[in-house]
Amino acid sequence: MTIHHHPPEELLVAFAAGLLDLGQHVAVATHLVGCPHCRAMVRTMEHVGGLVLADLPPTAMSVGALAAVEARLDGPGSSLAVPPRVGAGLADVPGLPPFVREYSAGPWRWIAPKVHLRAIQLPVASATRVFLLRSRPGTKMIEHTHTGFEMSCVLSGSFVHAGGHFGPGDFDFGDGTDDHEIMIDSAEDCICLVAMQGDLKLNGMIGRLLQPLIRM
Amino acid sequence: MVNETPNGATSDAARWAALIEAVATRGDRAAFAALFEHFAPRIKTFMRRSGASEQSADEFAQEALLAVWSKARLFDPGSVGAAAWIFTIARNLRIDVLRREKRGGRDHTVEIDPEFHVDEGPQPDAGLAASEVESRVRDALTHLSEDQLRVIELSFFDEKAHAEIAQTLQIPLGTVKSRLRLAMNRLRGQLGDFS
């Protein structure tokens, strides 16, 4: 697979630094699965992160901190850990990072002619929602994001808009400033993983949620 | 050590790697205490600079070191340096932590701990020892300008990093982004065949 569209550098740096929210993190990680070039960049930044960390001046830990941690070493592990996930709802979706394949997912839902959506349930609430979007060949839509940025990573098929042609592995980063007319130009369905900022209060109201995203 | 640097960075890295391996193979508590003494106070600084409160940064550093203990067996000294490995553990733990704290709910019991393994297939730097990669990165960093270094370092600390960096350095936001891009390209250029 030849990848032509990569996340901007500042996004890779934010990924490596852990500053993206989980939804955004998933979108960038999905691109990384297929992109050795960006993986190398992220690994470089992780090394830089290690050096930055090692060179920081220390801040004294609270009294008894080490003893408190030592008392927990044989316990059930970090309280930050999530309970084991149930189901493997996305095991059948190629191109996802292994950790995402363990997340559960809803069913495919019709949201517009020739367009279906499958929500991915993140283990914790995130300001950015993540879903798969499947569009039939020849579908045209207007991408219009007024709520914030949006990231898409192509898993299969391809689409084209003013910013170029996007095939498997390509990463499309929209900051909400443009309206793009998108056209699915592959012979097979185009499936993308999309991470989109939005108002959490709309959660579950997928039809209304996507109205601003997709107009036919 | 071939890559011994004047400040002893490489020998530090080798010592930390040995400590992590002692934890992994023997559950060596003295080794763990040594890692804790060095890294917990720095992870705390890291979190303080990222905007966490004193107490929250302290708790976070404790959790991060606990994760170092429980994941020590996953440490592969051949593929990643000790400091970078500990950094990524802290990095994974802090995803969304700061954001959630700002929303008011400091619920430390349901935080995420995803394993962000995205590597499939051989690494582009496969065959290059982790210590060499680390010393190359360190070396490459010394070739950056003071401005570029500062932008990279500040980029690690806050989600609003770029706007804040612009404010701190009193330069326009666009300049921050272009400096970061330049620095990244220089880093990549310096690292050459590795990336």
Question: What's this model's pTM, rounded to 2 decimal places?
Answer: 0.80
Asked if A14 and B87 come within 8 Å (Cβ–Cβ), the reply is no
Alpha-carbon gap, residue B136 to B190, rounded angstroms: 8
Alpha-carbon gap, residue B120 to A5, rounded angstroms: 20
pLDDT tens profile A71-128: 998 876 544 444 445 455 787 788 888 778 878 888 898 887 888 889 998 877 777 8
pLDDT less than 50: residues of chain B: 1-6, 104-124, 126, 193-195
Could you tell me the sign of the dihedral formed by the alpha carbons of B52, B90, A10, A192, in that order?
Answer: negative
- Residue A50: domain span: 1-216
- The domain tally of chain A equals 1
The domain that holds A93 is classified in CATH as: 2.60.120.10
DSSP B28: -
Average pLDDT, chain A: 80
* Residue A39 near residue A32, CB atoms below 8 Å: yes
Q: Which residue, among A177, A134, A195, has the nearest Cα to A159 in the 3D structure?
A: A134
The count of CB pairs under 8 A between chains A and B is 208
The letter for the amino acid at A101 is: R
Q: What residues 111-130 of chain A have any CB closer than 8 A to a CB of chain B?
A: 123-124, 126-127
Q: Is B99 on the interface with A (CB under 8 A)?
A: yes
Asked if A49 and B84 come within 8 Å (Cβ–Cβ), the reply is yes
Q: Is A68 on the interface with B (CB under 8 A)?
A: yes
Closest chain B C-alpha to A2 CA, distance in angstroms: 16
* Residue B47 near residue B57, CB atoms below 8 Å: yes
CA distances for A29 relative to A66, A83, A101, angstroms: 34, 22, 12
